[in-house]
Amino acid sequence: MSDAPAPTPDTIVLVHGLWMTPRSWEGWVDYYGAQGYTVLTPGYPGFEIEVEALRENPDVIANLTVPETVDHLASVVEALDAPPIIMGHSFGGTLTQLLLARGLGCAGVVIDSAPTEGVHVTPLSQVKSLFPALKNPANRHKAVGFTPEEFHYAFTNTLPRDESDRVWERYAIPAPGSWIWAYGLFANLKPGHQETWVDYDNDDRAPLLFLAGSEDHIMPPSVNRSNAKHYEGSASLTEYEELEGRDHWTCAAPGWEAVADRALEWALAHARSTPGATSSS
C-alpha cells in the first residue's frame, strides 16, 4: 500500500437522516462553504421537495427503498472529479457506511449513526424513541412522523420544549415506516444478509469516524460503540469518539460548530488518496 499523502479534499457530501431532509444541514453548508469547500447535500429520492410539501403529502416517500437510496447517493459521489469526504447523520450514517463499503469517498464521518446489520445493542431509550412507528404494524406501509412531544424525546431531549417545538416545525417530516420496521429493532431477527449489511473486514474502504452524543436517546452511544467495534477486523482505520452532553440533534443544537470542526479535522487528517491506500495521519 502507498504511504503518499492524499491531496486535500475540496468537496464534502452531507447525508441527512430519517425524519429529516437536506434542510437539516443548512448551517453546515454555510459553515463549510465559508471555508472554501464545495458542499453537497443530496436528498433521498423524493426528498428533494421542501419540508412543508412532504408533510402535506408524505405518500411520495412511503415506498422508497434503501437500495434505491444508496444507488442514488452513489451516483452523486461517483460523478465527482475526486473522492469527497462523506458525512452522515442518523440513518445517513448507515448510508455513509454503505457508500464507503462500495469503495466511495476519501474519508467518512458518521454522527449519531443508525447501525448497520449485526449490531445487536438495543437500549431502552431507543425502543421508546422508535415505538411511535413500531406500535402499529400498518405503519410499515406508510410514512410515519413524530408528534412534537415524541420528537422532543427522540431528537432534542437536551433542549427546552419550546425550542424543540421550533426545531420540529422547521425540519421534521415523516419517514418511510418500512425502513423503521426493517432496519430498526427487528433487523437482526431476519435470516440472511439485509440491505444494510456491510463487509466489516473490508481493508479497502476509506477511514471512518463514529461521533456519538452522550445524551442521544434514539441512537445512544452504546449503539455507535458496538457498530464501530464490528470493524475491528479491518486494516482500514475506524475510530470512535463520544460527545459529552449532546443529543441526537447535535448537528444543529447550540455548539454544533464544534462538532462540524471535529468531523472535518479528523477527515482531513485521515483522508486517503486512492482506494486501498493508507490514511495520511
Residue type, 55: R
CA distances to 71, 113, 242 from 210, in Å: 23, 7, 8
The string of pLDDT tens digits covering residues 152-185 is 999 999 999 999 999 999 999 998 888 887 765 5
pLDDT score at 277:
47
Confidence at residue 278, expressed as pLDDT on a 0 to 100 scale: 42
* For residues 176-197, average pLDDT: 68
State yes or no: pLDDT of 59 exceeds 90.
Answer: no
Region 120-147 average pLDDT: 84
The answer on pLDDT for 265 being more than 80 is: yes
In 77-177, at which residue ranges do the beta strands (DSSP E only) sit? 85-89, 107-111, 143-144, 175-176
Task: Flag whether pLDDT at 273 surpasses 90.
Answer: no
**Domains in the chain with CATH codes:** 11-270 (3.40.50.1820)
Using DSSP's 3-state secondary structure scheme, residue 201 falls into: coil
Distance CA 54, CA 40 (A): 21
What is the spatial distance between Cα 251 and Cα 278, in angstroms, rounded to a whole number? 29
SS3 176: strand
Mean pLDDT of the 37-53 span: 92
Q: What tens digit of pLDDT does each residue of 87-104 get?
A: 999 999 999 999 999 999
Res 1 pLDDT > 60: no
Cell of 247: 443529543
Q: Is the pLDDT of residue 114 over 50?
A: yes
pLDDT at 127 over 90: no
